[in-house]
Structure 1
């Protein structure tokens, strides 16, 4: 086919991230002719895995929670061979460290944590007061939403426990201002109570690749869309290589900044993250947890760190070990140096870091859309222009949200094609 000729399809999906792949899969399963175009050299969007000298390093530290309801609808979870982290969080204290088990997933461990003064009785009361909405999700809809910082203040969560919650959730939502929707934070807490975050044996890239596999030749990579134009009752999509396709419907399945080029009313604001990965020959003696700095005077850039290979042995060659640490990026927040990241991560883990060898650094300025109050779980998937849109900026800012939004967009397209 020459560049001047245009192919035809019922639907074109622009973007091969989770939302776009989920959308295309639903359309293909319904017997519709769909094409997926993406500018990258592999599927996955922001979910990618680099393999460096046998180490699997996900672009921006990510985990997969098997409790996400949408996963069972579209993914063979068992085939991912998930490797779970411990159900809790490791905490660097003023003196020594402690592991805080998830109070909703492992309540039987609370007495032991109280006995070791990991938490005080008043902390349990305050935490329960704040987290009860996670156990009663209907409460989130009945009550007014507010910011996370306001909700924690009202519940009386303070001291070391407050620092741990703040820093743990900072690493999840990539925002340390406390402005995140409290309802969204409680949805996350509920998910953590129902399932333990894990990593696929083949890296996080295994998730989008599994979604893409049944689509086969319907996915075209390294095809950057430069124009989407109305042609009669349909659309013409043009790529930078001159390829053109005419379609009845077009779904924009990119991240928020890119979607804003085609769709009105989409905020381009995103939270960023930088993740450093190191290799070491020294085995880790601690639990396979995500670790945070619980000290009151902590000033380092790291929001969380983990010995990844302790939870996911497939991420490192035999006899070697892989460590990751992440820090926030954004306005007024310069990118930390590798030395700063290494020193803080080593302190949190109680190690020296002297023998850590850098593997790779990932800088992801557009990692997650903000989730501000009041929480709007379902945003419209059709633009007034007639274009469809999906992505984690249309539902919750999560893997669950991306998958759900892709399905919702596909269901809307199917209704329009009747």
Structure 2
């Protein structure tokens, strides 16, 4: 006799991975509902709006290269034709020696230097040439199969050039990924660098990084302020329990929360799941958005281009790992004549400020920010402190070693999606994981 269930698929988490998974499955004709604990969808890709300023909860840029799953969805939703994307015209700078050095991660850095000596540029050139060889390539879908094995970024830097690590890999991974070079494997980051050709011709969403989430939420059924407390296998289906004491059955469920939050939700984790989930750690992310009464930017020399972001160079003992100059990144997000910068707390220092009141955090950030942006405190017009305990997935060697078994297991009634499945923090990883989860769920339901 056929088992009666409430819906076909329950998706736990209304971030970009959950919304995209629901969208893909609903397009296949399945009855799908999303359950989100927060009072709005988007997860780590939300934006807030205050008096004409648009502030993102997480950094979000899109490369024209190496983001196939993202661009497929952008085109499917008509975002490109609607003018929802903005081309970022300015480079990233490395803070070193009291000023910024532009073109970090850009092909032009081979000539401009980006804070590196001639030796460092040679190391960069060697890395770029090695990336063009079969042994030096990293498949973003299978980073565990690369020739770099589970080497950390620190180990990779020791082998390929200390200056390359100190002036490029470590600063960019710290600011953009929240990674510590000694904790995360090199292969997932190299996959990003190779796929995107570096920080080159990047784009962003003109009206905030929540653009795609807002549109996807219009295409699927989303329940907000609906906290799921347990997801268990129920015969050939799944059962959800909610914080209000109610429950729901589904033919399948997809859990899209950060990996550290999943074991508490899944008392019956399958063999091979728990090991990978527990090895897939996250770093804490703290972003401080500072509204300004005038446009400011990090110190630079005359004749150098304006920057859209900056990262810390070697030897800079700072509370910050870098920041984004939002009015240069996308002027449409800031009132005319005003400014907006987002300052990122270093992953090495996040624990010391995470639990402080917002007032104390902004005081420390403004004091520290004055080292890099002249007049920051005088131009201050407001702020927003964004905290994510599980903000950015790391790529620990243990997780990389376990990944093949996790992604290769047979489909079941409870599946997963999220950027952590690819061990790299990006919307591309989240969207790619949702496409994979939708295919696995469809295969399970077809049985």
How far residue 234 of structure 1 moved from its aligned partner, in angstroms, is 2.5
Q: 2: distance between equivalents of 1:382 and 1:330?
A: 35
Going from structure 1 to structure 2, the CA distance change for 1:118 and 1:359 (only over 3 Å counts) comes to closer
Task: Give the match for residue 123 of structure 2.
Answer: 126
Task: Give the match for residue 177 of structure 2.
Answer: 173
TM-score if structure 1 supplies the norm length? 0.86
Task: Give the match for residue 360 of structure 1.
Answer: 384
Task: Give the match for residue 86 of structure 2.
Answer: 83
Q: 2: distance between equivalents of 1:210 and 1:32?
A: 19
State how 1:39-54 maps to structure 2 within 5 Å: 39-54=37-52
Secondary structure of 1:317 counterpart: coil
Going from structure 1 to structure 2, the CA distance change for 1:199 and 1:179 (only over 3 Å counts) comes to same
Secondary structure of 2:192 counterpart: helix
Q: 2: distance between equivalents of 1:332 and 1:43?
A: 26
Secondary structure of 1:393 counterpart: helix
Q: 2: distance between equivalents of 1:364 and 1:253?
A: 16
Task: Give the match for residue 369 of structure 1.
Answer: 393
2:292 aligned with 1:274: no
The number of residue pairs the alignment matches comes to 403
How far residue 333 of structure 1 moved from its aligned partner, in angstroms, is 3.3
Going from structure 1 to structure 2, the CA distance change for 1:7 and 1:239 (only over 3 Å counts) comes to farther
Task: Give the match for residue 357 of structure 2.
Answer: none
Going from structure 1 to structure 2, the CA distance change for 1:151 and 1:177 (only over 3 Å counts) comes to closer
Q: 2: distance between equivalents of 1:81 and 1:250?
A: 32
Q: 2: distance between equivalents of 1:187 and 1:351?
A: 39
State how 1:295-310 maps to structure 2 within 5 Å: 296=315, 298-310=316-328
Task: Give the match for residue 11 of structure 2.
Answer: 13
Q: 1: distance between equivalents of 2:41 and 2:167?
A: 37
Secondary structure of 1:309 counterpart: helix
Q: Is the 8 A contact 2:309 2:322 kept in 1?
A: yes
Task: Give the match for residue 340 of structure 2.
Answer: 322
Task: Give the match for residue 3 of structure 1.
Answer: none
How far residue 64 of structure 1 moved from its aligned partner, in angstroms, is 3.4
CA distances 1:68-87 after superposition (whole Å, capped 9, x unpaired)? 11112222341462234346
Task: Give the match for residue 310 of structure 2.
Answer: 291
CA distances 1:380-400 after superposition (whole Å, capped 9, x unpaired)? 286897421221222232211
Moved more, 244-253 or 95-104: 95-104
- Structure 2 unmatched runs, 5+: 139-144, 298-304, 355-360
Task: Give the match for residue 418 of structure 2.
Answer: 391
- Structure 1 unmatched runs, 5+: 1-5
Q: Is the 8 A contact 2:61 2:204 kept in 1?
A: yes
TM-score if structure 2 supplies the norm length? 0.81
